[in-house]
Amino acid sequence: MSEKSINSERRNFLIGATSVVGAAGVVGLAVPFVGSWNPSAKALAAGAPIKIDISKLKSGEMLGPIQAWRAKPIFVVKRSDEMLDQLNSNNVRLADPASERPQQPTYAKNDTRSIRPDVLVLVGLCTHLSCSPKFKPTIQPELFDQEWIGGFFCPCHGSKFDLAGRVYSGVPAPSNLEVPPHYYESESVIVIGEDEGTA
C-alpha cells in the first residue's frame, strides 16, 4: 500500500470522525437551547388557573387577598343588597363609570363589573403603583371622603375605588381595578385565570 493511499485513508477517517463529533456537539448544544423555550414548571404554575370556594363567604365580606394567581392578590367580595343599591348612585365622581378602558373581560363590562351582581372578583393591586388597597365596605363618612359609599381605598397615595373597583376622578390611580378572567365551575366555586370554555 502506498504512502499516498495511507494518507488518503487517514484523512478520510479524520474528516469522518471530526464530522461525527461536530454533529454530536451541535445536537448537544441544541437540545438544552430548544428545551429552554418551554416554560418552567414554576412559570406554568404561576399562570395556572386557581379555584376558589366561596360557599362560606357572607354578604358584605371579602375573601382575600388570595396570593395565588400570577403572584397577584385576588379579592372576592360578596356584595350585599345595600351595596348593590348604592353602587351606581354617585357615578359622576368616577373617572371611568362605564368601564371603557379594557381592565375587564367583556362579560364583566357592566354596571357591577361581574358575572353575578352579588360577587365581585378583582386583582387586588392599585393601578397607580401596585399597592394593595384596603377594603372599606361600610357605607359611612370616612376621614378621606365624607361622602364615602363603600369600596377600596389605597392608603399609600390616596386612590379610591367604588364597590365595583371603578376609580374615582382626581386620584393618582389612572384606571379601574383589573377584573381577571374567571368563570363559575359551580354555584360556589370560581375558576380564576381563564374564561369559560377555554379549558
Contact 124, 63 (CB under 8 A): no
CATH number for position 160: 2.102.10.10
> What pLDDT score does 76 carry?
95
Q: Is residue 15 part of a domain?
A: yes
Q: How far is CA 67 from CA 54, 74, 169, in A?
A: 16, 6, 29
pTM, 2 dp: 0.73
Same domain as 155, residue 188: yes
pLDDT band of residue 48 (cuts 50, 70, 90) is: confident
Q: Is residue 197 pLDDT above 70, yes or no?
A: no
pLDDT band of residue 42 (cuts 50, 70, 90) is: low
pLDDT band of residue 62 (cuts 50, 70, 90) is: very high
Q: Is residue 144 pLDDT above 90, yes or no?
A: no
Q: Is residue 198 part of a domain?
A: no
Domain count along the chain: 2
Contact 190, 51 (CB under 8 A): yes
